[in-house]
Chain A
């Protein structure tokens, strides 16, 4: 007998296409899983609403649930409450760090001061002697930084 717990576990295997090894569950993208008889309804929410990976994730989530044997699977996109980078789990923050991406600063709902603070810790050497080079980066969710200690660039996942 498959329960919602099994479905959540299976969804841990669905990765964010723009962040290898980080799952859609750890990212806080999957909001709810409902199982009624043989029907599964998954609610997901976009990180940045223009993220081109959203359709891929929606598709991958549905495919993963079908792999468990369900034929009636719906994936609904919800916008409320709006996704926040505070939902990124500690496990995902560690993985981001290992990928050379500084995890977003937790803002507790008070985004504006954080978004304007321009502080990042280098994911390689841990130095805060860093400077924002571009508030926009290779994907919508990242900004570009330079570490004065390593004398090399790095990315930060933007707080949202």
Chain B
């Protein structure tokens, strides 16, 4: 692997890790605030799973860059984060978080199936492992999309509002970054653009069955993973505060 290829791969691992980590952090904000106890437990578990997946991607990146996982997570500034804006949007109601997790779960399953065929073995092995665990997420979030979409007028209306917000943002997941192009050419990872059709087919069928209307706006607010909303700054300020205040602490 030459230096150019290796740096593209390290960056791709950062895309994967940052999406999972920031989404995990947002979901963890529901801990103790879930609408019912069962869902409080479920969403906390999903957050912990995604956190574990972020750590898995970060460890693979560490093998390439030498940067410690904790350093990458706690001492990197917002401008150096490479998550999509979808995952950094602050929570509002339960429908908002549930629908976001659903859209992300379908993306992950479609994406991981492809990454499991990567020519870079550590990436393929991690994707295969994570994919198995994701089965339980999609099962859960897909059921809630149906339940809330077909529930009461209010639950449907809230889901529709969440979908209207998230739909354009979710499309950023399928934007090809320059690193994606390098990796696609080398056969290391498929371009996210190639996943869009399958994702749209699965989500459109399911959302429509749940009596939700697919928004016409497919244009994400940004196509660059280096662009962030101010919400990421406040999220990281909280997430990183303890590590930065006590940089020598061990836990």
Residues of chain A at the chain B interface (Cβ within 8 Å): 46, 48-52, 79-80, 82-83, 111-112, 115-116, 133-138, 140, 144, 158, 160
Contact = CB atoms under 8 A, between A and B. Distances in A.
B42 A49 contact: no
Tell which of A51, A133, A135, A136 has the most Cβ of chain B within 10 Å. Answer: A136
24 contacts: A46-B52, A49-B49, A49-B52, A49-B53, A49-B129, A49-B130, A49-B133, A50-B50, A79-B122, A82-B125, A82-B128, A82-B129, A115-B139, A134-B38, A135-B42, A135-B140, A136-B41, A136-B42, A136-B45, A136-B140, A137-B41, A140-B48, A144-B41, A158-B136
Contacts, number: 73
A135 B125 contact: no
Interface string B118-130: 0001100110111
Contacts of B232: none
A138 B139 contact: no
B160 interface: no
A112 B126 CA distance: 19
B139 A79 contact: no
Nearest to A139: B45
A121 B126 CA distance: 32
A135 B139 contact: yes
Contact of B52 (A51, A134, A158, A160): A51
B132 interface: yes
A82 B53 contact: no
B106 interface: no
A48 B133 contact: yes
Nearest to B38: A134
B126 A50 contact: no
Contact of B46 (A79, A136, A158, A160): A136
B250 to A, nearest CB: 12
Contacts of B135: 111-112, 115
Contacts of B56: 49, 79
Given A134-B41, A134-B42, A135-B42, A50 B136 contact: no
Contacts of B122: 79
Given A115-B135, A134-B42, A136-B42, A48 B128 contact: no
A48 B125 CA distance: 14
A138 B40 CA distance: 11
Nearest to A52: B48
A116 B140 CA distance: 10
A160 B133 CA distance: 7
Contact of A116 (B51, B128, B129, B139): B139
A71 B60 CA distance: 27
A143 to B, nearest CB: 9
B62 to A, nearest CB: 12
Contacts of B44: 136
Residue among B48, B50, B121, B129 with max Cβ neighbours from chain A (10 Å): B129
B54 to A, nearest CB: 9
A84 B37 CA distance: 29
A115 B136 contact: yes
Given A48-B49, A52-B48, A140-B45, A135 B129 contact: no
A48 B38 contact: no
Contacts of A83: 129
A17 to B, nearest CB: 15
A99 B50 CA distance: 28
A59 B84 CA distance: 35
Contact of B128 (A80, A111, A133, A158): A80
A79 B45 contact: no
The 3 nearest A-B residue pairs measured at CB: A50-B52, A136-B45, A136-B42
A79 B126 contact: yes
A155 to B, nearest CB: 12
